[in-house]
Chain A
Amino acid sequence: MKTPYLFAAFLVLPLAARADKLVIPANAPPAFEAECGACHLAFPPALLDAKGWRRVMTQLDNHYGDNAGLDDKTRQAIETFLVQNAGGDKVSGAPLAKGEPPRLTATPWFKRKHHEVPAKVWQDPKVKSPANCAACHRRAAAGSYREREIVMPDGRRWEEKEDD
């Protein structure tokens, strides 16, 4: 009688395990890592919805206070890739700051995943910005966000902190 449940668990497990893995899909154009990874981590496309990525890509020369302008061909190739691999409802509806494209660190998903992180930690000089994933997720560049790899700016592991 238990078999159906067990079976269901096996089906769900691989999906659940992926919550701490956010990799760049293999069909990324070579320009994606080179261009979108030059000033910050090349963010995984699943972190923003298609509408959000289109907004980001239409104003690259006015990019959160920086200039990330690209030639048309490269811009188009990257936009197509981002839109094709965009996330869904969970990562849409980020509130917009004036004149800025949407931030993937303002989506309901990002807020929920980080609700236990104290607000002042985001301003720590070693972090500077929530978008600096690698400041805490030591293996972010490899797409890994496992809890036991998290080291907070004070040098302590997140898991040890929780035990206090």
Chain B
Amino acid sequence: MRTAPFPILVLLVAPLMASVQAATPADLLKGYSAEARAQQAGFTPSAQRGAAFYARTFGVSAKMPACTSCHTADPAKAGRHVVTDKPIKPLAPAANPERFTDLAKADKWFGRNCKEVVGRDCTAAEKADFVAFVTGGR
């Protein structure tokens, strides 16, 4: 019985830990928008700008010219990595509820994908527009 207090402690703490990490796409949109407003007064996210960014051919990388190269023209559809052919789950939270629920994960992929496709980091404004677009403009 000496070990009992530990499992009880874990049971008490685990839900707290989960709630610290859990975020919604709306939280991420709010965070990126606030960051963008700090750089550019009066910024409001635009799903239309996000759609244009998503569809744009940057041409920085021959193999990965656009976001659509791997994520397809429709973010609600499953994609495939252009080089490795590995299936990629849809980006739109409506089709894949795991998307944009973890800020660190979203930032990591914006970091990688923007550098290789756009040739630089995406701005907070671009990220906010992008999230507005994939979440269906809400």
Q: How far is the CA of A127 from the CA of B86 in the complex (A)?
A: 10
Please give the distance in Å from A76's CB to the nearest CB on chain B: 17
Question: Interface size on B (CB < 8 Å)?
Answer: 12
Q: Identify which of B61, B81, B84, B86 gathers the most chain A CB atoms within 10 Å of its CB.
A: B84
Do A67 and B116 touch across chains, with their CB atoms under 8 A apart? yes
Do A39 and B81 touch across chains, with their CB atoms under 8 A apart? yes
Please give the distance in Å from B62's CB to the nearest CB on chain A: 9
Could you name 21 residue pairs across A and B whose Cβ atoms are closer than 8 Å?
A: A39-B81, A39-B83, A39-B84, A40-B81, A41-B86, A65-B61, A66-B112, A66-B116, A67-B111, A67-B115, A67-B116, A69-B112, A126-B85, A127-B85, A128-B83, A128-B84, A128-B85, A129-B84, A129-B85, A131-B84, A135-B85
Counting contact residues on chain A (CB < 8 A from B), the size range is 10 to 19
Please give the distance in Å from B7's CB to the nearest CB on chain A: 21
The A interface is mostly helix, strand or loop, or mixed, namely loop
Task: Indicate with 1 or 0, residue by residue over B41-80, a CB within 8 angstroms of chain A CB atoms.
Answer: 0000000000000000000010100000000000000000
> A65 touches which one: B63, B86, B115 (CB < 8 A)?
B63
